[in-house]
């Protein structure tokens, strides 16, 4: 059987296809090894993160496993390579233990072995209540784009890491949690909008996070690359550009 010669046109086509495949593989590798963008659909992390923020989660701080793959790839968890624990106060993206095709974002409050409790909404770590001081009021976005008043506070974690939190009500069922020990290879995570967050205070079977397995970590949120006010969807199309929150573009997350 004689071989069929590849014409210049076919050679050019094959080269173009190869370049496209190479670009796709390069992007996938970058999203796996370096960073991946994520969109914020809820207000559970207000005031730190707003609905409509576009986040950039860096992958390398906590090492790599199957959770580090692009979000649309869902595989059973594996051991982490170059693994490292987050620090208290890190804002992290993770695969929700209840459905690993979903990615959520919360703040790390407790590390393995920490004793975590809440009394009247105040967090205690290893028997020491966190310092919380009032910081005026803010506006929390709820469904439909409307906003309600929220008391704002500055919470200080061990190591003097400060962040803002919202409290919508004085009394919430999740304000009092008996002391519990964070198991090995797990984390205690919370949303900064304390009355609007299904986090480690809520078991997975009830729609929360429960104790988050370290194996489900995707990456650390270091910055916001863009933001658009979703409330503008109900406005005329020509007004939509005014919904871009330019002050949040390429801003750091603390």
Supply the residues annotated as catalytic.
Answer: 44, 106
Q: What would the two tokens of residue 202 be?
A: 């809520």
Q: Parallel, antiparallel, or unpaired for β 131-141 and 128-129?
A: unpaired
Are 89 and 108 in contact, with CB atoms under 8 Å apart?
yes
**CB burial class (10 A; 0-12, 13-18, 19+) of residue 53?**
buried
Q: Per residue in 94-109, is it b (16+ CB within 10 Å) or e — as a string? A: bbbbbebeebbbbbbb
* Biggest distance spanned by C-alpha atoms of the chain: 84
Q: In terms of Cα–Cα distance, which of 74, 47, 104, 4 is closest to 251?
A: 47
User: What is the chain's alpha carbon radius of gyration, rounded to the nearest angstrom?
Assistant: 22
Please state, in angstroms and rounded to a whole number, the distance separating the CA atoms of residues 250 and 56: 9
């Amino acid at each position: 059987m004689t071989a069929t010669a590849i014409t210049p046109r076919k050679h050019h086509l094959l080269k173009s296809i190869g370049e496209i495949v190479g670009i796709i593989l390069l992007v996938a590798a970058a999203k796996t090894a370096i960073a991946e963008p994520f969109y914020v659909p809820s207000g559970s992390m207000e005031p730190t993160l707003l609905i409509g923020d576009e986040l950039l989660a860096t992958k390398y701080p906590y090492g790599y496993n199957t959770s580090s793959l692009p979000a649309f790839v869902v595989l059973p968890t594996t051991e982490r390579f170059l693994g490292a624990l987050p620090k208290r106060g890190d804002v992290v993206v993770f695969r929700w233990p209840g459905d690993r095709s979903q990615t959520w974002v919360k703040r790390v409050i407790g590390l393995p072995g920490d004793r975590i409790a809440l009394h009247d909404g105040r967090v205690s770590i290893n028997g020491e209540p966190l310092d919380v001081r009032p910081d005026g009021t803010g506006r929390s976005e709820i469904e439909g784009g409307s906003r309600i008043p929220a008391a704002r506070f500055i919470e200080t974690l061990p190591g003097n890491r400060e962040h803002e939190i919202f409290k919508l009500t004085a009394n919430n069922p999740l304000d009092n949690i008996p002391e519990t020990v964070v198991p090995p290879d797990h984390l205690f995570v919370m949303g900064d909008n304390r009355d609007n967050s299904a986090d480690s205070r809520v078991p997975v079977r009830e729609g929360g996070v429960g104790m988050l397995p370290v194996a489900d970590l995707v990456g650390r949120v270091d910055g916001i690359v863009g933001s658009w006010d979703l409330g503008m969807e109900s406005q005329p199309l020509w007004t939509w550009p005014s919904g871009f929150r330019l002050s949040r573009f390429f801003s750091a997350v603390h």
